């Protein structure tokens, strides 16, 4: 079903989003990084992590609560190791923290082949795929995971939500091979809680085996659903557990207390981030068949995977790359009318000029 | 349903398995590592990767074919990086290659916080969980993936198998927290091809959405199944793709040609391995709530996850830990009667004494 989008130049989008962050007390450079990630998300069609979502989450769990501290200074923890760093973000805004951490991991990987940056006491970085895509576009193999803001997911075989939706994001420098970086990026629940709320509004049932009711029993009724199920049974459960374990080793506290600042003040209530970058040269044996170089070899592998009748399969990151092409062709970010109106509520909050809606160019896809 | 197992002392098991490897031309130290991993698998109840499977795979794809070269010497590729190593295994037996690679990654992690060892031109290492469990018992966070011997898995939305069952294995040093290392270890297909063959023998249907027929259509008839489906739709597909991408960056060739030595001799036909170790101190912010140390914090996190009504959930690695306890109590490895008979066929091949079956002690679980 075709949808009409209003076209908003990135500079116009970023000005408004930066103003909204600054109005809430964030520093100019924090606001710039905050807007940058949201622009990246919108440009790639990641509507669940656009600026509206970012500023809403900041209001609910961030500077509007106790989860995020504008102007917080990242503390680097001393370490005896050469290829790893640990930071205490002291609840700094997630986007600037994540950009800096990925940058530091890249610098480490340039010297050591691999670099790891762990971040304690962090605030939600929104779209992990954005950071790894960025690194992959610059030629690196990148990975990040984080503990999600709320414990909404029930361990496999359990009744009560004690795990975050805990996403994993991998990016690979495959632009030379397929025209865009392969980005594998998803939460470890079958669906997101936002999807439950959307289906509730639309009066539609949930997919089976995606959510549980108050008693811990499976339900397809979005009105009864209070918790989520990991994808792939014990396999997705294991993947969700990884983030909690890594977070626990870093410094994260009890998952059921995350973002719940009204309980147990002596416990921590923040997220943990893990970033890793590998320089592709650090993996190469140099012994590629048929005299290929590394990029040509990766291209040949991908062509084999998508050959033999699999030509219609998508590569992860392809939908996002298609959106970015569409945005570039339109000359701006693409928003629905209701999104435009929501941006204008932000403009009112920030005390800046509203966007012209009726005169904005549109595109229909 | 209770099963009766024959109890075989590990020394007796290892003698036979070592003799079988030596008979096939492997060096003594290769045979020792080969037997060690199989004993580890059997001790932990991993019956799909016991010595019978190892020696059968060696016959089909290894020294009985062109996939594995007894006595091969690992070549270390020069690198400019400090925390990563790349090896060309020149088709050495997988178990000694993997043990050495994990050891090298541990040594790197001791200095750099993280260590990565990539291995090109490798032969199947069997049970990835065994290597990460080993490292986790020694206090490290370990990860490995490899490209599986055959392309049996169809990309999400495709028709033809172009991906391996491509397992991922993570191990965490949680013995202080829960009594055993958490080991998350599975293939990225819904089921293994061995499971298809087992259900065929038993005349039972496959689970739905696990396998495809010759036309690329879903089937529950094990006689029609020729390829497998990734678990979790596009998410498992992404995970399977990771191993092919990493393998492609290392030096692996086209997935559909792996282990198919009769086709395209100018291409490579071997697997790739990736190992990574992180020292847990390299993650720690030191800022654990309530004055906990890192181990106590991880314990508190796990207790929270398995609390609140989730007390009956299992942690990944728990079933394996229970089997190891059972094996220790029995005083040996546990094999069914038909496994005992298969071991005696190996004894005949190796020219060593058969195991006494009727006089072996048994245990029933």
Distances (CA, A) of A172 to A184, A316, B81, B230: 9, 10, 19, 20
* B260 beta partners: none
pLDDT per residue as tens digits for the range B107-140: 999 999 999 999 999 999 999 999 999 999 999 9
As a whole number of angstroms, the distance between CA A51 and CA A39 comes to 7
Contact residues, chain B, for A184 at CB < 8 Å: 238-239, 241-242
Contacts of B282 in chain A (CB under 8 A): 79, 81, 84, 86, 116, 118
pTM for this model (two decimals): 0.97
Is a pLDDT exceeding 90 seen at residue A317?
A: yes
Cα distance between residue A343 and residue B141, in whole Å: 44
pLDDT tier for residue A175 given thresholds of 50, 70 and 90:
very high
Cα of A125 vs its chain's centroid, Å: 6
Closest chain B residue to A157 measured between Cα atoms?
A: B313
Give me the pLDDT at residue B2, please.
87
B204 has a chain A CB within 8 A of its CB: no
Partners of residue B255 in chain A, C-beta under 8 Å: 301, 304-305
B304 → closest Cβ in A84, A111, A255: A255
A84/B114 touch (CB, cutoff 8 Å), yes or no: yes
Question: Please, what is the average pLDDT of chain A?
Answer: 97
The confidence score (pLDDT) of residue A203 equals 94
Locate the chain A residue with the closest alpha carbon to B164.
Answer: A305
Is residue A174's pLDDT more than 80? yes
Please give the structure tokens belonging to residue A194.
């936002």
A306 at B interface, C-beta within 8 A: yes
From A288's Cα to the closest Cα of chain B, the distance in A is 5
Per-residue confidence (pLDDT) for residue B136, from 0 to 100: 98
Select the residue from A287, A298, A302 to test the B interface by mutation, using most B Cβ atoms within 10 A. A287
DSSP state of B312: T
What distance separates the 2 farthest-apart alpha carbons in chain A?
62
The residue of B74, B75, B81 whose CB has the most chain A CBs within 10 angstroms, and thus the best one to mutate to test that interface, is B81
Cα B333 to Cα B53, B318, B342, distances in angstroms:
15, 18, 15
The pLDDT score that the predictor gives to residue A365 is 86
- Measured on CA atoms in the order B185, B188, B194, B195, is the torsion positive or negative? positive
Segments of chain B scoring below 50 in pLDDT: none
Q: Across residues A75-90, what is the average pLDDT?
A: 98
Q: Are A108 and A85 in contact (CB under 8 A)?
A: yes
Chain B partners within 8 Å of A244 (Cβ):
301, 305
Contact call for A266 and B290, based on CB within 8 A: yes
Q: Which site among B289, B294, B303 would you substitute to test the A interface, given the most A Cβ atoms closer than 10 Å to its Cβ?
A: B289
Task: Pinpoint the alpha helices (H) of B77-205.
Answer: 94-112, 128-137, 175-178, 193-202
Quote the ipTM score. Answer: 0.97
CB pairs A-B closer than 8 Å = 322
- Section A315-332 average pLDDT: 97
Q: Which of A50-54, A192-196, A328-332, A350-354 has the lowest mean pLDDT?
A: A192-196
pLDDT at B365: 86
């Amino acid at each position: 079903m075709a949808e009409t989008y209003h076209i908003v130049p990135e500079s116009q989008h970023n000005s408004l989003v930066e103003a909204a962050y600054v109005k809430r007390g964030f520093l100019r450079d924090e606001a710039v990084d905050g807007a940058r990630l949201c622009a990246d998300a919108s440009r790639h069609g990641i509507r669940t992590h656009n600026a509206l979502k970012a500023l809403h989450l900041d209001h609910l769990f961030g500077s509007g609560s106790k989860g995020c501290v504008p102007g917080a200074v990242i503390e680097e923890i001393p370490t005896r190791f050469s290829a790893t760093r640990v930071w205490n973000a002291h609840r700094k805004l997630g986007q600037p923290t994540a950009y800096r951490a990925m940058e530091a991991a890249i610098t480490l990987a340039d010297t050591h082949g691999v670099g790891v940056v762990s971040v304690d006491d962090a605030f939600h970085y929104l779209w992990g795929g954005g950071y790894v895509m960025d690194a992959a576009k610059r030629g690196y193999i990148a990975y990040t995971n984080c503990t999600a803001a709320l414990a909404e997911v029930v361990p496999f075989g359990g009744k009560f939500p004690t795990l975050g939706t805990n996403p994993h994001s991998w990016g690979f420098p495959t632009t030379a091979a397929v025209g865009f970086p392969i980005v594998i990026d998803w939460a470890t629940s079958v669906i997101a809680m936002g999807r439950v709320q959307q289906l509730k509004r639309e009066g539609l049932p949930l997919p089976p085996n995606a959510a549980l009711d108050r008693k811990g029993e499976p339900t397809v009724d979005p009105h009864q659903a209070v918790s989520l199920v990991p994808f792939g049974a014990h396999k997705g459960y294991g993947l969700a557990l990884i983030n909690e374990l890594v977070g626990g080793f870093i410094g994260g506290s009890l998952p059921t207390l995350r973002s719940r600042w009204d309980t147990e003040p002596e416990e921590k209530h923040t997220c943990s981030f893990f970033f890793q970058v590998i320089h592709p040269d650090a993996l190469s044996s140099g012994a590629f068949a048929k005299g290929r170089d590394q990029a040509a070899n990766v291209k040949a592998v991908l062509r084999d995977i998508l050959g033999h009748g699999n030509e219609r399969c998508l590569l992860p990151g392809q939908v996002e790359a298609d959106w970015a092409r569409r945005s570039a062709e339109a000359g701006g970010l693409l928003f629905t009318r209701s999104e435009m109106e929501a941006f204008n509520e932000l403009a009112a909050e920030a005390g800046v000029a509203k966007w012209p809606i009726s005169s904005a160019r549109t595109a229909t896809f």
